[in-house]
A and B are shown apart, each in its own frame.
Chain A
Amino acid sequence: MKRGGYLVAEDSNGRVARTATASPAVDASVRPRIEIINASKRFPRPDKSGETFTALADVSLSVMQGEFISLIGASGCGKTTLLRMMSGLMPCDDGEIYVSGKPVVGVPASIGFVFQHPELLPWRTVRDNLLFALKQRRMPRELKDRAVAEQLELTNLQAFADYYPGMLSGGMQQRAGLARALVGNPDVLFMDEPLSALDAFTRRQLQQDIAEIIFTTRATTVLVTHEVDEAIFFSDRIVVMATSPGRVNEVIDVPLPRPRRHSDLIGNPTVAALRDRVLGIVLGVA
């Protein structure tokens, strides 16, 4: 339906079943959910010299179904640019990007996006903001309402369904932003520093909630962050990027079961070692 070709059969089985039934018989299903092949991006220099600077040079990366990866790196490493290219908000100049086996031309079907700021419509209630994500879907209104109600429950927002975003705290707003991103049951979820504007306590709480929600939905997730701890907390793999030009420096596995809880990670030697390693690469001392 929404995705042509070889992935249709999986769709009808539902997500959890899909990973379980992935077998050599369905050959194409082992194809990554996201494939980036030698992607580059150049921007004109702001000084109007007509020259360009290379924001991303020759990036290749694959993300498997259900995987959670984080893009981390200093500002200017092109992590947000890469995210915007994957989500179709920005075209790449060279190379190819595939999402769900289709080349990305414009925004792919069935993705969700959590922005740095919630980007809720201030003139719509939380419920109507979620409905906006389903507006262009061809499905009966009752099904949309049910999907929204279920998503509000999953994100613990039932009590705030009829609030306007301006009446909610920053954490609650971002929770609603996550609910909107997930209400369409997306195959891929993109998140662009979604928690960076929140205080440390709210952030930790929301990290745990998000980790659990995403784990249950099995959505493939790409997170842009500049917090090493956040990347370790969420990710199956951490993609450490470098600047000038923006490129993938190193990809680091996080060999810990998901979903994680902060309390479980305290004093964990694996986490400590990972943190040192990622920080070392980011700071250029490793």
Chain B
Amino acid sequence: MSAASGDAGVRLSHDPAVEVPRSPAPAKPSRPRSRTFSRATKRALPAISVLVFLGIWQIVGGRINPILLATPSKVGEAFVDINREGLLWPAFSRAMEVLGAGLGIAAVGGIALGVLMGRSETAYRVFSPYVAFFQATPLIALTPLVVIWFGIGFEAEVAVTAMLAVWSIIINTSEGVRMTPDSLLDMSRIYHANERSVIRDIAVPHAIPYIFAGLRIGLAKAMIGVIIAEMDVSLKGLGGLVENFGNSFETARLLAAIITSSFVGVIGTVILEIVRRRAAPWAGKSRVRTQV
């Protein structure tokens, strides 16, 4: 083989991940350096990192004004308190509902328009200016307009969420459909597949990894929508708690509410991943380059 691959081999053998499980071999000069951590330690490293971080936070937080920064222990207490006061669960479930409804609407509409744009050059040319425009616009600024249209209830929050999430889903879906290999389309022509069959049997299955990449990005944007909508529109739910605790300088409770909103996003991500594996069991781990 070439000199380059020889180099790679040497480097690989110095990689601690490769080296550690081996039985003792003639020592090389560079070896002790790569034995900084045992394998067990390495596995535990993320947890250790978090614990160390929380420890430093606890120590630093204990020495400064609790309004500026609450300690982890205080945040934990705040969790228990707002749960006991019956504030946590309704806020959490409402955020999940807004996220589910908003992302759901964005998914249905975004996938439909994305498939249309992916299959029809005309549709692509007609719609892509708007998609590019709205993708680049900080749509959160439209929240007041959404309130004018939908009022200040659940519907308005869902609308803000969907409005933020839909563009990434459209772009990734249309890209995935447009990337359908010509060879598969040739194959479909040999067997006289109609457009309906091409979409159902070839283009959409091919686009599934792209669609889920769009949904993951859409989910992140939808979470912004959920919290901002509740902060600006209804003052209910998690966003409402964030706004209220912030305004009354209850830093520990504020952080507890923010961490809860992270959980909402993480749960959404996990659900998406489960759905993806069921929808595309042949695809394995997704390695798709995403569009924004």
Please report the C-alpha to C-alpha distance between residue A246 and residue B156 in the assembled complex, in whole angstroms. Answer: 65
**Is the CB–CB distance between A132 and B201 below 8 Å?**
yes
**Is the CB–CB distance between B189 and A115 below 8 Å?**
no
**Is the CB–CB distance between B282 and A166 below 8 Å?**
yes
In the assembled complex, which residues on chain A have CB atoms less than 8 Å from the CB atom of B201?
A: 121, 124, 132, 135
A65 at the interface (CB under 8 A from B): no
**Is the CB–CB distance between A135 and B197 below 8 Å?**
yes
Q: A121-B202, A122-B282, A166-B282 are in contact. Are A135 and B193 (CB under 8 A)?
A: yes
Q: B205: which of A111, A121, A184 is its contact (CB, 8 Å)?
A: A121
**Is the CB–CB distance between A136 and B193 below 8 Å?**
yes
Per-residue 0/1 for B159-199: is the Cβ within 8 Å of any A Cβ (1 yes, 0 no)?
00000000000000000000000011011011111100100
A113: nearest chain-B partner, CB-CB: B190
Q: A121-B201, A121-B202, A123-B280 are in contact. Are A115 and B191 (CB under 8 A)?
A: no
Interface members, chain A 178-206 (any B CB < 8 Å)? 184
Among A113, A119, A133, find the residue whose CB has the most chain B CB atoms closer than 10 A.
Answer: A119
Secondary structure at the A interface, as helix, strand, loop or mixed, is loop
Please report the C-alpha to C-alpha distance between residue A67 and residue B183 in the assembled complex, in whole angstroms. Answer: 27
A136: nearest chain-B partner, CB-CB: B192
B183: nearest chain-A partner, CB-CB: A119
Interface members, chain A 75-119 (any B CB < 8 Å)? 87-89, 106-107, 109, 111-113, 115, 117, 119
**Is the CB–CB distance between A112 and B190 below 8 Å?**
yes
Per-residue 0/1 for A153-168: is the Cβ within 8 Å of any B Cβ (1 yes, 0 no)?
0000000000010100
In the assembled complex, which residues on chain A have CB atoms less than 8 Å from the CB atom of B191?
A: 132-136, 184
**Is the CB–CB distance between A89 and B189 below 8 Å?**
yes
**Is the CB–CB distance between B186 and A115 below 8 Å?**
yes
In the assembled complex, which residues on chain B have CB atoms less than 8 Å from the CB atom of A133?
A: 191
In the assembled complex, which residues on chain A have CB atoms less than 8 Å from the CB atom of B202?
A: 121
In the assembled complex, which residues on chain B have CB atoms less than 8 Å from the CB atom of A115?
A: 183, 186-187
The total of Cβ contacts below 8 Å across the A-B interface reads 52
In the assembled complex, which residues on chain A have CB atoms less than 8 Å from the CB atom of B189?
A: 88-89, 106-107
**Is the CB–CB distance between A119 and B282 below 8 Å?**
no
Please report the C-alpha to C-alpha distance between residue A184 and residue B193 in the assembled complex, in whole angstroms. Answer: 14
Closest CB-CB distance, B197 to chain A, in whole Å? 6
Please report the C-alpha to C-alpha distance between residue A123 and residue B206 in the assembled complex, in whole angstroms. Answer: 8
Closest CB-CB distance, A78 to chain B, in whole Å? 17
In the assembled complex, which residues on chain A have CB atoms less than 8 Å from the CB atom of B186?
A: 89, 113, 115, 119
Q: A136-B197, A164-B282, A166-B282 are in contact. Are A119 and B184 (CB under 8 A)?
A: yes
Closest CB-CB distance, A151 to chain B, in whole Å? 14
Per-residue 0/1 for B193-223: is the Cβ within 8 Å of any A Cβ (1 yes, 0 no)?
1100100011001101000000000000000
In the assembled complex, which residues on chain B have CB atoms less than 8 Å from the CB atom of A107?
A: 189-190, 192
Closest CB-CB distance, B188 to chain A, in whole Å? 8
In the assembled complex, which residues on chain B have CB atoms less than 8 Å from the CB atom of A117?
A: 183
Please report the C-alpha to C-alpha distance between residue A121 and residue B200 in the assembled complex, in whole angstroms. Answer: 12
Please report the C-alpha to C-alpha distance between residue A107 and residue B190 in the assembled complex, in whole angstroms. Answer: 6
Closest CB-CB distance, B155 to chain A, in whole Å? 37
Please report the C-alpha to C-alpha distance between residue A102 and residue B18 in the assembled complex, in whole angstroms. Answer: 65
Closest CB-CB distance, B137 to chain A, in whole Å? 35
In the assembled complex, which residues on chain A have CB atoms less than 8 Å from the CB atom of B183?
A: 115, 117, 119
Closest CB-CB distance, B53 to chain A, in whole Å? 41
Closest CB-CB distance, B50 to chain A, in whole Å? 37
Q: B194: which of A89, A123, A136 is its contact (CB, 8 Å)?
A: A136
Please report the C-alpha to C-alpha distance between residue A89 and residue B280 in the assembled complex, in whole angstroms. Answer: 30
Please report the C-alpha to C-alpha distance between residue A119 and residue B187 in the assembled complex, in whole angstroms. Answer: 7
B187: nearest chain-A partner, CB-CB: A119
In the assembled complex, which residues on chain B have CB atoms less than 8 Å from the CB atom of A124?
A: 201
Please report the C-alpha to C-alpha distance between residue A106 and residue B282 in the assembled complex, in whole angstroms. Answer: 32
**Is the CB–CB distance between A123 and B192 below 8 Å?**
no
Please report the C-alpha to C-alpha distance between residue A134 and residue B190 in the assembled complex, in whole angstroms. Answer: 11
**Is the CB–CB distance between A113 and B282 below 8 Å?**
no
Q: A123-B205, A164-B282 are in contact. Are A113 and B187 (CB under 8 A)?
A: yes
Please report the C-alpha to C-alpha distance between residue A182 and residue B113 in the assembled complex, in whole angstroms. Answer: 37
In the assembled complex, which residues on chain A have CB atoms less than 8 Å from the CB atom of B208?
A: 123
Please report the C-alpha to C-alpha distance between residue A166 and residue B183 in the assembled complex, in whole angstroms. Answer: 17
Please report the C-alpha to C-alpha distance between residue A121 and residue B193 in the assembled complex, in whole angstroms. Answer: 13
Q: A123: which of B187, B190, B197, B282 is its contact (CB, 8 Å)?
A: B282
| 11 A-B pairs whose Cβ atoms sit less than 8 Å apart in the complex | A88-B189, A107-B192, A113-B190, A115-B183, A115-B186, A121-B205, A124-B201, A135-B193, A135-B201, A136-B191, A166-B282
Interface positions of A (Cβ within 8 A of B): 87-89, 106-107, 109, 111-113, 115, 117, 119, 121-124, 132-136, 164, 166, 184
**Further pairs besides A121-B202, A166-B282: 11, Cβ < 8 Å:** A109-B192, A111-B190, A115-B187, A119-B183, A119-B186, A122-B282, A123-B205, A124-B201, A132-B191, A164-B282, A184-B191
